[in-house]
Structure 1
């Protein structure tokens, strides 16, 4: 399986990059962010009808999938 960098370097389609990013096992991640950023993100997630975790994943996928395009 190619790595993310290899996909970008090979000019893979955005769809292929998105597919790569959502596959794989789930892992726990701990990060420290300002409470105001967390609260704003939780509010935005609720407005979109999704969880905070889903919102963060969506933002990351959006940013990573457009790289190189």
Structure 2
């Protein structure tokens, strides 16, 4: 399996392969500076979906990074 996202994308993977690659690995802590209105809206949307803010952000990132033609 490729070591980097770029190497993976260059191998013309399926969406499933991309998603698998993105969820592998160790969890790390990330600090992100965003407007409070964006954070509050995302927290509300996450709650509506029955998930945590962190899970919602991860889901959004995976969705964006696993799109075909990126």
Instruction: Flag whether TM exceeds 0.5 (same fold).
Output: yes
What do you get for the CA RMSD once the two structures are aligned? 1.1
Question: Across the two proteins, how many residue pairs are aligned to each other?
Answer: 69
> What are the ranges of 5 or more consecutive residues in structure 2 without an aligned counterpart?
none
Cα deviation for residue 9 of structure 1 reads 1.2
Which residues of structure 1 form unaligned runs of 5+?
A: none
Cα distance in 1, alignment partners of residues 32 and 68 from structure 2: 23
Moved over 6 A (4+): none
| TM superposition score normalised by structure 1 | 0.94
Larger RCO of the pair (alpha carbons < 8 Å, separation 6+): 1
Alpha-carbon offset, residue 67 of structure 1: 4.5
How high is the TM-score relative to the length of structure 2? 0.93
